Amino acid sequence: MQVLVRSVPPASIGSEHPLIDRIYAARGIERPSEADRSLSRLLAPSELPDIEPAANRLADAIEGGERILIVGDFDADGATSVALCVQALTAMGAQDVQFIVPNRFEFGYGLSPEIVALALERAPDLIVTVDNGIASVEGVQAANAAGVDVIITDHHLPGEVLPPALAIVNPNREDSQFSSRAMAGVGVAYYVLSWLRQRLRSRGWFARGVLEEPNMAQYLDLVALGTVADVVPLDHNNRILVHQGLMRMRRGLTSAGIKALAAVGKRDLATLVAQDLGFAVAPRLNAAGRLEDMSIGIRCLMAQDPAAAKALADQLDSLNLSRRELEQDMVADAELILGDLPKDDLSHGISVYHESFHQGVVGIVAGRLREKRHRPAIVFADANDPQQSELKGSARSIDGLNIRDVLDALATRYPGMLIKFGGHAMAAGLTIKRVHYPRFRKAFDAMVADTVTEDALTAAWLTDGTLEHERLTLETAKLIADAGPWGAAFPEPCFRGEFKLISQRIVGGQHLKLVVKAHDLLIDAIAFRQPALSGTLDQVLLVYKLAINDYGGRRTLQLMVEYIEPLS
């Protein structure tokens, strides 16, 4: 394992804290404006492709009392997008807004012809996709044939052919002039709804006195949650959206559902940070789509009554516990399968399948394998096709490897091997025939080998250097937390340091609890999924993040250990 230090270009951000200046500069922020997280710094919606026809068609639907059907995805980004659209459209005067989310085990992902057939049973006048649709050529054709307009709002990478929708709002279209291509699906939906509000305002819709014009800032809690949950890069625009949503949550200006999810995750709203959304709130929301039906999560997000929200959050918490057990078993099984392979097999790209694997958890397991082995990983499970002949896979990548481009290259080189695929640079989904799995496994490994350098496959921790012992304080931890949000492509600061090891013990069955000493300061530390260190040790090298532990109502500094290396 290499422990490296981020390069810090000469820059002055203009903050009052040299440490934050250094951290920001190492993440490419060169001017104070780039650190400004106020709403006035958000990019204007006008450069998003097709946002004008999308907003005008939605305005027509509202004024005409048409039935609008939202078609979502079964993850947290999709769930927050659906909840956002239903609530905001209703607040703007839509009389009949319904939603449908495909069950991943019956229909799979996106606006497929099968989902369109199900949607048509509700007789919609307009279908709006959120967090999906960019690859749904046949589904849009089916809707058009039935005389139903389709608006696509999505952020996934487009294929060679775009669906024949009335409007396709996606910052990743080739003709997009929008400066940020990193928005989550919920961010795209938020922009469309914001532009819709302007169109309705220009038509005098709110001036008629029937409805009060909604404040779109009230929905930023949903935007923040969906953006963090989807692990999209936190560029400047996304940091603004997440920061503003978090600020509303901290002030208690959030939905009963998010409050309940934070409570079951044992997170305090007053001190909530992006990491709490990613590790406590989003997994419970995602558990519904992974194991059962995401409509449970959507109902929780839209719940108005605290008691109803708590009941739904408790149900999601129970599903999440089941998901954890499945995940642990599947990771263990995957490691056994990989351990039986020849040492030179899967040396670059990992593919693993077992008939017992659960389709809803393969993405998490792929992420765990990626973390442990620092290799792009794809985990497959049986699909629910009638002939039981297909496998569905979920891929997770490493920095420097666009996993969707790899799948695209495989589809081109081996026609017919991939039935369908799609996704992002860091995560993707695919379907293959079971009979093609051995061939795919070798082809994927070879494609990764041809695409990445050996350096990219070498695990390394990129740190912000050492932290002076006098900065190992609660005040520094709070300072860093307040300088966020931190996340993908804008990583939370981590530091390296040598400490005297005072004690160690295993807690929770698999986590290493430490007490370390820096000069005269004793500090608690924890390393997740880390076995106890063997031998007689005095000194350890830690790569760590600063955190605030408020267990038992007492706030203390805690080091979150990312990597540990014995020094003696």
Q: Tens digit of pLDDT per residue, the chain (568 long)? A: 678 888 887 656 766 789 999 999 999 998 999 999 999 999 999 999 999 999 999 999 999 999 999 999 989 999 999 999 999 999 999 999 999 998 877 777 789 999 999 999 999 999 999 999 999 999 999 999 999 999 999 999 898 899 999 999 999 999 999 999 999 999 999 999 999 999 999 999 999 978 899 999 999 999 999 999 999 999 999 999 999 999 999 999 999 999 999 999 999 999 999 999 999 999 999 999 999 899 999 999 999 999 999 999 999 999 999 999 999 999 999 999 998 766 555 579 999 999 999 999 999 999 999 999 999 999 999 998 777 899 999 999 998 899 999 999 999 999 999 999 988 888 999 999 999 999 999 999 999 999 998 888 888 889 999 999 999 999 999 999 999 999 999 999 999 999 999 999 999 888 999 999 999 999 999 999 899 998 888 999 999 999 999 877 789 999 999 999 999 7
β-strands 427-433, 418-423 pairing: antiparallel
Residue 550 pLDDT: 83
- CA dist 290 and 325 (Å) reads 13
All domains in the chain, ordered by first residue: 43-215 (3.90.1640.30), 341-457 (3.10.310.30), 464-566 (2.40.50.460)
- What residues have CB less than 8 Å from 167, skipping those under 6 apart? 50, 51, 53, 54, 57, 151, 152
CB 262 within 8 A of CB 273: no
- CA dist 123 and 69 (Å) reads 9
What is residue 432's three-state secondary structure? strand
- CA dist 170 and 190 (Å) reads 12
Whose structure tokens read 């200006």?
253
- What residues have CB less than 8 Å from 406, skipping those under 6 apart? 349, 376, 397, 444, 447, 448, 451
- CA dist 566 and 568 (Å) reads 6
Residue 15 pLDDT: 62
CB 131 within 8 A of CB 103: no
CB 391 within 8 A of CB 380: yes
Would residue 400 be called left, alpha or beta, if left means φ above 0 and alpha means ψ between -120 and 50 degrees?
A: left
Provide the 8-state DSSP code for 531: P
- CA dist 327 and 294 (Å) reads 19
Neighbours of 194 (CB within 10 A): 18
- CA dist 546 and 560 (Å) reads 6
Task: Calculate ∠ Cα 406-285-493, nearest 5°.
Answer: 65
Residues forming a β-bridge with 126: 68, 149
- CA dist 201 and 166 (Å) reads 22
Say whether the peptide bond before residue 531 is cis (omega within 30 degrees of 0). no
β-strands 67-71, 96-100 pairing: parallel
Helices (H), 389-541: 403-413, 437-451, 474-482
Taking the model in full, what pTM does it have? 0.93
Neighbours of 65 (CB within 10 A): 11
Residue 265 pLDDT: 97
H-helix or E-strand spanning residue 512: strand 511-518
HSE-CB for 80 with a 13 A CA cutoff: 31
Neighbours of 525 (CB within 10 A): 22
| The 3-state secondary structure of 334-362, one letter per residue | HHHHHHCCCCCCCCCCEEEECCCCCHHHH
What is residue 391's three-state secondary structure? strand
- CA dist 268 and 444 (Å) reads 43
Q: Which of 303, 175, 285, 299 is nearest to 230 (CA)?
A: 285
Task: Calculate ∠ Cα 318-230-88, nearest 5°.
Answer: 85
HSE-CB for 395 with a 13 A CA cutoff: 31
Residue 478 pLDDT: 96
Rg (CA), the chain: 24
